[in-house]
Structure 1
Amino acid sequence: MVPAGSIDPWGLFRPQKILFMFFALSALQVMGKVLSSFVGHRAGTLMTGFLGGLLSSTATTVRLAKDSHDTEGSQSVRMAALHAAILAMLLQAVVLVGAGSVEALRVVSLHFLILFLITMVMAVVLWHRQSRPRGLTTGPEKVLDVWESLKLTVFIVLILAASRGAQTWLGNDGLMVLTFIVSLFEVHGSLISTAQLLAADQVSLAQYEKLVEISLLASFVSKLFLIVTLSSAPFKKRAVVSLMPAVLFLLLHLLGWIHI
């Protein structure tokens, strides 16, 4: 059995989490190749994005960012798949928040609806956008590259360790900051914990609304960071622009510049 807890005194490295991330990245590799062979590259990439988002939107973002360096396929389709993964993440978040507290879901239901609409529109626009033809690769192609999955797993684990280290350093002060740090790569866990805080009357409805917005904003920020760090130049520029409407909505509402 792989231990679920941390193996270091600081609680930074959790073998179960590391193993899950490795298998998630490997599964996304295989899923993408298999689906593409059955339904074609475009539909296969989009389906992999959504199904991968249900598994791990972080791992899916990393996989799509790395795939953007390939000469085969459409960058617009990969970006549509990225938004499909975000849709899956939002769907999971709605279910988790609603399961934790109906009152909590009522408070933030409009936020999720607006993010759903923004992300859906971006996915449809990118899906239908015509990209320049790409050359097809020749020769046999690996269905699973274990070394690639290992490298990406190490990259994600190091970022997780950094965020957990910052969380430990901050202690229990600064709930907003802690929520942002945790949500960078653990948005669903953060949403569950904040819903529990509301149910236990530890935070007000207004505070809870801000905590949810911070969690979702952090999730988008982490995806932007992964894209900027790992993706090709053409994918990077367009993907960042495509994510900005959702980021701006959350930021402006969080700052009180728009009201819903």
Structure 2
Amino acid sequence: MPTDLQSTLALLTSAGIGLLVGLERERNPLTKAGLRTFALIAVLGCLSTNVAAAVDGAWVVAVAMLVVGAALTAAYVVDPATRVDDSGTTTIVAALIVFALGSLAAGGQRQLAVAAGVSVTLILHFKAELEGFSHKLTSRDLRSMLRFAVLSAVILPLLPDRPLAPSGPLAAVSPYNVWLMVVVISGVGLAAYVTWRLTLGRHGLVVTGFLGGLVSSTATTLVAARHARQGIASPHAALTVILLANATMLVRVILVVAVVAPAALPAITAVIGPALALALPALVVRWRGAAGAGSGDDGNYRNPADLATAVGFGAAYAAVLALAAWLETFVGTRGIYGLAAVSGLTDVDAVTLSVLRLSSTGALPVSAAATAIALALAANLVAKSVLVYAAGGRTVGHGAAVGFTLPLAALVAKVVAGAL
């Protein structure tokens, strides 16, 4: 009886997958395979697998799949009206996949078959969007994706997942872990970078500030400040981008913590959350003042998946991690706080990942890691204030300082509370 039930469920699952994909294909008036045909193809895949198991002959499945492919190919070849586009090729491939999913369901992999069926339907349905996406990508964007593939799929698996030394500061440094953090940071930045590139020339201040903050809050701040000084952007528009980019920096840190150290997320969110909330009032005021200012700046942000950038970040992360481990051993937690303050002036990612790594190994309490991250963020906001004054002039610099005051005060309060 259980076997009969499993077979029935497999058959129903196959039919459901075929109906789902067929429903999407039915929308094309030139298609040779619609709702019923796809459902029958999926059922054929399921039944042929059961027959193959009964007669102990895998050839049954192969022959059935060949028949399906040949029949659909012949149907498109003999009808000239279907040669106006490549929908026939897509339909044939989709039909073969549906057949395979029916076979997969019969083999007991129903959940995988359903997931794959939904994925196929989505790919078929969003044809226009996917084609538009590919047309908007430049060779530069494709190279960015390929570089990230090299970072994550080629280099990462080759690195040893063991400490550089059995003891001492280098015991906290694992080549695999260092590069994994490079992949995480590069992945977040690349996703934002590609999105920014795809919306180039028609994105607004909010999109510019948010995506720029994910790619590089420092670069975004510098570009916006310079544009204000040069008259390319109004002070309100520049400050909207600057304040949003640096608020996004706080969100980015929370996202990174959620990925690499989810156990520390509540403590880190309790530290960063108030600062993020207090950053919103000034941002809203500037955004409303910039209404009608037009699109955001189109600064030339550096590709975050660039190999030199990735290696540089990896080296910085490894150095900060080793130094933090040494300070924790020989100086104590206050030494890490000093490192966080200095490192945070230029970059918060390396020190954030370093203290999270020490926290995950038990070398540093989560509360101390949260305090160090808050200190790094506070130092970074102070440095950004100086940067905006230097690059954007008195008006924009004063506006940025005012906008940073409340979140900076919240971070300093958390630092004081955590250090006492």
TM-score (normalised: structure 1): 0.65
Question: Given the alignment of the two structures, is residue 207 of structure 1 paired with residue 368 of structure 2, yes or no?
Answer: yes
Give 1:72 shift: 4.1
User: What code does the residue aligned with 2:407 have?
Assistant: A
Taking the aligned partners of 1:103 and 1:130, their CA distance within structure 2 comes to 40
Secondary structure, counterpart of 1:189 in structure 2 = helix
Instruction: Provide the residue aligned with 2:84 in structure 1.
Output: none
Give 1:227 shift: 1.1
Taking the aligned partners of 1:204 and 1:145, their CA distance within structure 2 comes to 40
Q: Is the 8 A contact 1:46 1:78 kept in 2?
A: no
Which consecutive unaligned segments of at least 5 residues does structure 1 have? 5-23, 135-142, 147-156
Once the two structures are superposed, the pairs formed by residues 147-186 of structure 1 within 5 Å of their partners are: 172=327, 174-186=335-347
- Inter-CA distance 77–102: structure 2 relative to 1 (3 Å threshold): same
Once the two structures are superposed, the pairs formed by residues 1-260 of structure 1 within 5 Å of their partners are: 35=200, 37-38=201-202, 44-129=204-289, 172=327, 174-256=335-417
Taking the aligned partners of 1:73 and 1:99, their CA distance within structure 2 comes to 36
- Inter-CA distance 65–144: structure 2 relative to 1 (3 Å threshold): closer
User: What code does the residue aligned with 1:213 have?
Assistant: A
Q: Is the 8 A contact 1:46 1:77 kept in 2?
A: no
Regions of 4+ moved over 3 Å? 143-146
Taking the aligned partners of 1:48 and 1:253, their CA distance within structure 2 comes to 30
Taking the aligned partners of 1:239 and 1:76, their CA distance within structure 2 comes to 10
How many residues align? The count is 201
Give 1:239 shift: 1.4
Which consecutive unaligned segments of at least 5 residues does structure 2 have? 1-146, 152-188, 302-311
Taking the aligned partners of 1:189 and 1:126, their CA distance within structure 2 comes to 31
Secondary structure, counterpart of 1:202 in structure 2 = coil
Q: Is the 8 A contact 1:65 1:231 kept in 2?
A: yes
Instruction: Provide the residue aligned with 1:151 in structure 2.
Output: none
- Inter-CA distance 74–178: structure 2 relative to 1 (3 Å threshold): same
What CA RMSD, in Å, does the superposition of the two structures yield over aligned residues? 3.6
* Higher share of residues assigned helix: 2
User: What code does the residue aligned with 1:186 have?
Assistant: D
Secondary structure, counterpart of 2:383 in structure 1 = helix
Taking the aligned partners of 1:204 and 1:52, their CA distance within structure 2 comes to 32
Give 1:73 shift: 3.4
Taking the aligned partners of 2:244 and 2:300, their CA distance within structure 1 comes to 24
Instruction: Tell me the percent identity.
Output: 21
- Inter-CA distance 195–130: structure 2 relative to 1 (3 Å threshold): closer
Instruction: Provide the residue aligned with 1:149 in structure 2.
Output: none
Q: Is the 8 A contact 1:53 1:60 kept in 2?
A: yes
TM-score (normalised: structure 2): 0.42
Give 1:85 shift: 0.8
Q: Is the 8 A contact 1:190 1:215 kept in 2?
A: yes
Q: Is the 8 A contact 1:68 1:231 kept in 2?
A: yes
Secondary structure, counterpart of 2:250 in structure 1 = helix
Give 1:196 shift: 0.9
- Inter-CA distance 63–204: structure 2 relative to 1 (3 Å threshold): same
User: What code does the residue aligned with 1:60 have?
Assistant: T
- Inter-CA distance 70–108: structure 2 relative to 1 (3 Å threshold): same
Q: Is the 8 A contact 1:57 1:85 kept in 2?
A: yes
- Inter-CA distance 107–90: structure 2 relative to 1 (3 Å threshold): same
Taking the aligned partners of 2:389 and 2:231, their CA distance within structure 1 comes to 19
